[in-house]
């Protein structure tokens, strides 16, 4: 309850004839007994409760001037930290945080990573979506096998931001596994999966850094063909991305001859 509301309650109860002790008990500790006595004395002599100063402490850090400076700083530079704001304007880190969250009602959002797509790629994707909508029925889109590949390395996963070793010294931390060894030339391998509405194909693992069209035709496409025929029967479609082994003319010819339907490189 705010101070103004408390003054109204004390004023009304005192006018109704309640004593100081009864008002204190009814407020259940919201106000001190001496404060209630002083306010009742004001009502008795002046007919109102007038406080000369605000009961709250004056703001020293979160002033309107400082808040305005922080707002202008954010308008000029979006990426700021509470530590830098505190150092620049001579306030504490917690005060800078309260200015951002309470006074300006802002929230800290993490940076998101998105693919850098050019206008040419955007137009090509829109064209592909329109082509699918004009040439495929809804039930046909559920019978498309999408394929992709991803390169991995054999090095362990390491997160420098939150992986910590609690130890008394650096030497003790190293003994407990606090050192991460990295190879200069990591051994890499490629994993190929196919995904459709019914599930995922068996994974094809290739230990070469780069896969050419010959190996792609010999080791990957037969897996996709067998899975598609076993899952959908004779009516289904294979869709690939635009990497070099996929768009090679021999790969395109093999797919055109073997698959029931095939989305070629022109689409």
User: How confident is the chain (267 residues) per 10-residue block, as mean pLDDT?
Assistant: 76 87 85 87 84 60 85 81 86 88 83 84 89 88 89 73 74 80 77 91 82 88 92 90 86 91 84
pTM score, two decimals? 0.53
- For residue 209, how many C-alpha atoms fall within 13 Å in the half-sphere facing its CB? 3
CB 155 within 8 A of CB 195: no
169 and 257 inside one domain: yes
In a domain, 267, yes or no: no
Q: Mutual orientation of helices 249-258 and 221-232 as an angle, nearest 10°?
A: 20
156 and 86 inside one domain: no
In a domain, 222, yes or no: yes
What's the domain range around 20? 3-46
77 and 41 inside one domain: no
Give the per-residue pLDDT at 222. Answer: 93
In a domain, 28, yes or no: yes
R_g (Cα) of the chain, nearest Å = 36
In a domain, 194, yes or no: yes
Give the per-residue pLDDT at 209. Answer: 65
Give the per-residue pLDDT at 253. Answer: 92
Alpha-carbon dihedral 142, 145, 149, 150, rounded to 10 degrees: 30
88 and 143 inside one domain: no
143 and 240 inside one domain: yes
In a domain, 228, yes or no: yes
Number of domains in the chain: 3
95 and 144 inside one domain: no
Give the per-residue pLDDT at 57. Answer: 54
88 and 169 inside one domain: no
């Amino acid at each position: 309850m705010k101070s103004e509301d408390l003054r109204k309650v004390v004023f009304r109860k005192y006018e109704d004839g309640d004593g100081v002790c009864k008002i204190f008990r009814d407020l259940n500790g919201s106000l001190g007994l001496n404060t209630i006595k002083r306010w009742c004395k004001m009502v008795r002599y002046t007919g109102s409760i007038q406080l000369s100063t605000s009961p709250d402490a004056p703001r020293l850090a979160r002033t309107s001037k400082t808040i305005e400076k922080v707002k202008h700083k954010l308008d000029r530079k979006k990426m700021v930290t509470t530590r830098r704001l505190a150092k620049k304007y001579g306030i504490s880190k917690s005060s800078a945080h309260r200015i951002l969250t309470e006074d300006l009602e802002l929230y800290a959002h993490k940076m998101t990573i998105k693919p850098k797509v050019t206008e040419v790629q955007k137009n090509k994707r829109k064209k592909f979506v329109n082509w699918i909508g004009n040439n495929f029925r809804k039930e046909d889109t559920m019978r498309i096998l999408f394929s992709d590949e991803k390169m991995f390395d054999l090095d362990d996963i390491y997160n420098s931001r939150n992986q910590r070793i609690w130890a008394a010294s650096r030497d003790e931390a190293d003994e407990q596994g606090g050192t991460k060894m990295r190879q200069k030339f990591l051994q890499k391998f490629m994993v190929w999966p196919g995904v459709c509405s019914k599930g995922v194909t068996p994974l094809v693992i290739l230990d070469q850094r780069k896969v050419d069209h010959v190996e792609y035709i010999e080791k990957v496409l037969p897996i996709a063909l067998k899975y598609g025929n076993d899952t959908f029967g004779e009516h289904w479609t294979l869709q690939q991305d635009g990497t070099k082994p996929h768009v090679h003319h021999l790969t395109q010819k093999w797919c055109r001859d073997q698959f029931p339907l095939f989305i070629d490189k022109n689409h």
